[in-house]
Amino acid sequence: MIKAAVSVPPAGVIEGYRQVAPVIEREGDAATVDTTGVYFQQLNDAIRRLVADGVTTVRVTGANGQRYIGAGLRVPGVRIEVHGTAGNDTAMFMDGAEVEVFGNAQDGVGNTMSSGRVIVHGDAGDVLGYGMRGGRVFVQGDVGYRVGIHMKAYEKHVPVVVCGGKARDFFGEYMAGGVLVLLGVNTHFPEQPLVGGFTGAGMHGGVMYVRGTVEPWQCGAEVGITEACEEDLGVLRPLVEEYAEAFGEDAEAIMDGPFVRIAPVSHRPYAKLYASM
Amino acid sequence: MQQTFVQPEFRVRIDYDKCHKCGRCVQQCGWGVYDFAERPIPHDEKCRACHRCVTYCPAHCITIEKNALAFRENDNWSTNLVKGVWKQADTGGVLLTSMGNPRPYERIFDKLVLDACQVTNPSIDPLREPMELRTYLGRKPDAVQVESDGNGGFRLAEGGGMTNNLKLDTPIIFSPMSYGSVSLNVHRSLAMAAERLGILMNTGEGGLHEDLYPYQDHAILQVASGRFGLNPEVLGRAAALEIKIGQGAKPGIGGHLPGEKIDREVSATRMIPQGSDAISPAPHHDIYSIEDLRQLIYAIKEASGYKPVGVKIAAVHNVAAIASGIVRAGADYVYLDGFRGGTGAAPAVIRDHIGIPVEVAIAAVDQRLRDEGIRNQASIIAAGSIRSSADAAKAIALGADVVAIGTAALLALGCHLCQSCHTGKCSWGITTQKPELTRRIDPEWGAERLTNLVHAWSHELQEILGALGVNAVESLRGSRERLRSIGLDEHTCRVLGVKPAGM
């Protein structure tokens, strides 16, 4: 038998972080974890233990960039509240749980996520939703570069990312499935374009909706821009309503649009690139 | 339409006096070479020289010959270059090919010889004396912790720093080949063989099909840039996880599994729609630095309960520095894939001109990790054309812990190196998803052949170790003093850390 036993990795001394367990206060099936200055391994270990012990709401306080909060969590119905800044790869590989961040989130939110929901009351960084295959991510404000990269759908699993602000270059790059929405309503950059360049570069599945105008020069060669039709608005409405509910906004005002639809012109963009030897 | 200038590469000759007119060649050929009108009529231009028809012709009346069309002699313009230009003028396409780099670069393994004991220390007979091939893959502790067993002896302390190692009964494992590029029956064969041999197979980046769950303790699951077939459940199933950065056959470029290879089962395993291209980006877009690599390694560890995580890279110019970064990023093993490694599809220009030989990569990485005092922190897996047990022994002597075989494994299953995997029409049922072809491989038969091959190589390794006078493969690892070179230049010898024969 080849078996990899679970072990706690050797603890190195990380400057500014304590290699100690966080302070936990438990009340019934809820728990508060004070993670001020605690390293990510001890924090996430504590979350996993609490969830295994039947806790359904974990309130993480004092978060200051600790990585992987909720990573790989496979327990539906579990809710993690993060107060502070959620670190890189928040909810990575997550399958079924919910993470709500009261603050900003760093890079890689929802990376390769399977299902569940993430809500960020703030801005989020780069590569949000990389390879995401299900679940929903809502960001109130702006997002970084390469957001929604390589999202993919499979049968009933359709990932959704809704960003309330603006996005940088390569929005929806390589996208293979799912729905990626950009609203442009809550932004720190009112003077800047909604999206950067290379939007949808390499896109070969799924759909993007952007509230406002996107010019062809902002897009990759693999996508086309059209006005969102009734059917598109039917897809959008429940997502916008969920966004508005999460952040206390006016769904109808957002739905006033106008929205454009950005979608691939082919699901096999490179079929003619090669000559067989 | 204009006639192409590219003439058939092969001639299919049928001795019609012997031919039974049974039509088996027509049925066996995946390339559609044969028409049948009272007797089989071959279309030479479709032949890939895979010998499927030759092997199954009951009358032994088929021969495949090289089409020996003469060109005026020209050492500068090889026939292949000329044909490439014509083909690209026809199509405007990137020339696509498969399997490993076939060009006549120097083969360093063939210029290295191993030592043997004579007179001054005894050689060992492995048939009658213990000869250990067991190898542990993963991070080793800086110091072994032992404790009393209570009976006056000692045992490894709880964990002892070895808990995250994978036990291999022989230092030969199967290299990553994805379900999608190869058929499910190939994956089943590899998985069954890995279990019987006490070794590992590797899913490649196509995910772990549920038929392989019974063998999951012998499967490495790849996390590649396309993130296909990954969810926390499969992460929890695999024995180890491997971040694929690069592949020897195509360093620095991504992959496109063409839509026609994505049938229902492949689509379910990769968790992507049927019929649409599976595109793997060139880089992981969450890894732009060693720090980012560390981030992904620990993301996978966090999500998988701290299973071993390896990193596979193509051997390229600065491989030693890169490997050092990988080890410092927390990888449990570094997988070095040399420029002769195989592929299911790669642009010929990349396959044939990018990367370096695995032999120098192993030596450079092993030396660098030793110099930095971190060699114990990760194992080295070497691949990229391990063609025999001799190559395996030489790779280990140069510094590898384990070797991985891909092409050799496919050869055991019937591959004839026709370099046409990318067409999806493999007549041997290996690199295809067409049901009428994939059923040509019975997993039980395949597993037996793979088991035979690895057993045979393991016996040969034991013989080599015996001749060297050592009784464990660990004693050969990195022991370059037991290698000599014949006809290698001084610089290469210096990089390899190997003396010329006679010194």
Per-residue pLDDT, B143 = 84
- Opening angle at CA B26, ends B22 and B27, nearest 5: 90
**Facing B227 at nearest CB: one of A9, A150, A205:** A150
Check pLDDT > 90 for residue A257. Answer: no
The reply to whether omega before B171 is within 30° of 0 (cis) is: no
Q: State how far the Cα of A124 lies from the Cα of A103, in Å rounded to an integer.
A: 9
Write out the H or E segment, with its range, that includes residue B448.
Answer: helix B443-468
B245 falls within a domain: yes
| pLDDT tens, residue by residue, B267-286 | 889 888 888 888 888 999 99
Calpha distance B359→B384 (Å, rounded)? 9
The pLDDT value given to residue A15: 62
Nearest chain A CA: its distance from B189 CA (Å): 18
Please report which confidence band the pLDDT of residue A171 belongs to, taking 50, 70 and 90 as the band edges: very high
| H helices present in B23-66, as ranges | 24-28, 52-56
Nearest CA in chain A to B423: A276
Among B93, B120, B142, the domain boundary falls at B93
Q: State whether residue B261 sits within 8 Å of chain A by CB.
A: no
Which CATH number is A122-267 given?
A: 2.160.20.60
Q: Is B134 inside a domain boundary?
A: no
CATH number for the domain including B492? Answer: 3.20.20.70
Complex ipTM value: 0.90
| Mean pLDDT taken over chain A | 92
Q: What is the pLDDT of residue B78?
A: 92
- Do B365 and B486 share a domain, yes or no? yes
Residues A68, A89 contacting (CB under 8 angstroms): yes
Q: Write out chain B's pLDDT in tens, 503 residues.
A: 578 899 999 999 999 999 999 999 999 999 999 999 999 999 999 999 999 999 999 999 999 999 999 999 999 999 999 999 999 999 999 999 999 999 999 999 999 999 999 998 899 999 999 999 999 999 998 888 888 888 999 888 876 667 789 999 999 999 999 999 999 999 999 999 999 999 999 999 989 999 999 999 999 999 999 999 899 999 999 999 999 999 999 999 988 777 878 888 998 898 888 888 888 889 999 999 999 999 999 999 999 999 999 999 999 999 999 999 999 999 999 999 999 999 999 999 999 999 999 999 999 999 999 999 999 999 999 999 999 999 999 999 999 999 999 999 999 999 999 999 999 999 999 999 999 999 999 999 999 999 999 999 999 999 999 999 999 999 999 999 999 999 999 999 999 999 999 99
| B295 to A157: CB separation less than 8 angstroms, yes or no | no
State whether B187 and B65 are in the same domain. Answer: no
CA distance B239 to chain A (A): 6
Query: Could you say which DSSP state residue A21 is in?
Result: P
B205: which DSSP letter? G
CA-nearest of A97, A150, A98 to A119 is: A98
* Coil, helix or strand at residue A218: helix
Domain assignment present for residue B101? The answer is no
Question: Which domain covers residue B392, as residue numbers?
Answer: 167-460+474-500
Contact of B30 with chain A, judged by CB distance below 8 Å, is answered with no
Q: Nearest-CA distance from A76 to chain B in Å?
A: 13
Q: Are B360 and B493 in a shared domain?
A: yes
pLDDT > 50? residue A6: no
Q: What is the pLDDT of residue A277?
A: 77
Check if the beta carbon of residue A100 is closer than 8 Å to that of residue A79.
yes
Q: What is the CATH number of the domain that holds B22?
A: 3.30.70.20
* pLDDT digit string, tens, across residues B470-483: 999 999 999 999 99
Quick check: A95 and B279 CB within 8 A?
no
The answer to whether residue B482 sits within a structural domain is: yes
Regarding whether B176 and B77 lie in a shared domain, the answer is no
Of the three residues B78, B93, B108, the one that is the final residue of a domain is B93
| A8 close contact with B: CB closer than 8 A | yes
Cα(A64)–Cα(A214) distance, rounded to whole angstroms? 35
Gap between the Cα atoms of B342 and B407, Å rounded: 6
Q: Do B271 and A154 touch (CB under 8 A)?
A: yes
Non-local (6+) Cβ contacts of B418 within 8 A are: B48, B49, B50
> In this structure, what DSSP letter does residue B472 have?
B
Q: Is A204 in contact with B267 (Cβ distance < 8 A)?
A: no
Give the domain-ending residue among B65, B93, B121: B93
Question: Looking at the structure, do residues B359 and B449 belong to the same domain, yes or no?
Answer: yes
Do A161 and A119 form a contact (C-beta atoms < 8 A)?
no
Query: Does A168 reach chain B within 8 Å, measured CB to CB?
Result: no
pLDDT at residue A12 tops 60: no
Chain A hits for B48, CB-CB cut-off 8 Å, are: none
Which residue has tokens 């990553």? Answer: B176
Q: Which of A7, A152, A204 has the CB atom closest to B159's CB atom?
A: A7
A-chain residues within 8 Å CB-CB of B299? 67-68, 71, 89, 92-93, 108, 111
Q: What is the pLDDT of residue A13?
A: 55
B276, B292, B297, B377: best to mutate for the A interface, most A CBs within 10 A: B276
Which of A73, A154, A269 lies nearest to residue B273, judging by beta carbons?
A154
The count of structural domains within chain B is 2
Contact B402, B135 (CB under 8 A): yes
Nearest to B306 among A6, A270, A274 (CB): A6
**Is B50 part of any domain?**
yes
Answer whether A150 touches B (CB < 8 Å): yes
Cβ-Cβ contacts under 8 Å, A114 against chain B: 231-232
Are B480 and B332 part of one and the same domain? yes
Q: How far apart are CA A200 and CA A218, in angstroms?
A: 9
Nearest residue of B to residue A95, measured between CA atoms:
B232
